[in-house]
Amino acid sequence: MKRRLRLLALLCAPLVIGCPQIAHVWLEPNATNQHLSFGIGRTPSKPGGVAIGVFRVDPCQFRDGSQPAWVISDNTADDKTGHVEYGRIPSGFSEDRKAIPLAPGCYQASVSGSPGRIAFDILPSGEVRARSEPK
């Protein structure tokens, strides 16, 4: 009987503790430094279905004491927001860190509570390119 209870507790633990949500973040087509737009969704290239919580953009070399480039918080607690444009606050969100101009370099955008993120480069021309996922 003890063995069955332990097995039941082990199987139910993830339901009680919870698992991080899976969110994918991608650059929208034709993104530039002047119009930097991200898609966010449970499935790549399919926006929505994820409660965002906090969305942030950081330099790739983010270290303790470094400042994020931009941070917004979702106050709606729903899963309807599937697009975020850098520097524009979506309806129902608040800005925790005002967006700074992005100089050429590497950045990453992420959603809290999820391993989903995208690293990208802003080129001197203003073009934006997604970085390949590390192998």
pLDDT at residue 22, as a whole number: 82
* Architecture, CATH, for domain 19-130: Sandwich (2.60)
Tokens of 123: 């080129």
Closest CA to 68 of 56, 80, 77: 56
Q: What's residue 110's pLDDT?
A: 93
Q: What is the mean pLDDT of residues 86-99?
A: 96
Nearest to 117 by CA among 50, 29, 57, 30: 57
Where do we find the tokens 């607690």? 77
Sign of CA dihedral 14, 15, 20, 26: positive
Q: What number is the average pLDDT over the span 36-47?
A: 90
pTM above 0.85, yes or no: no
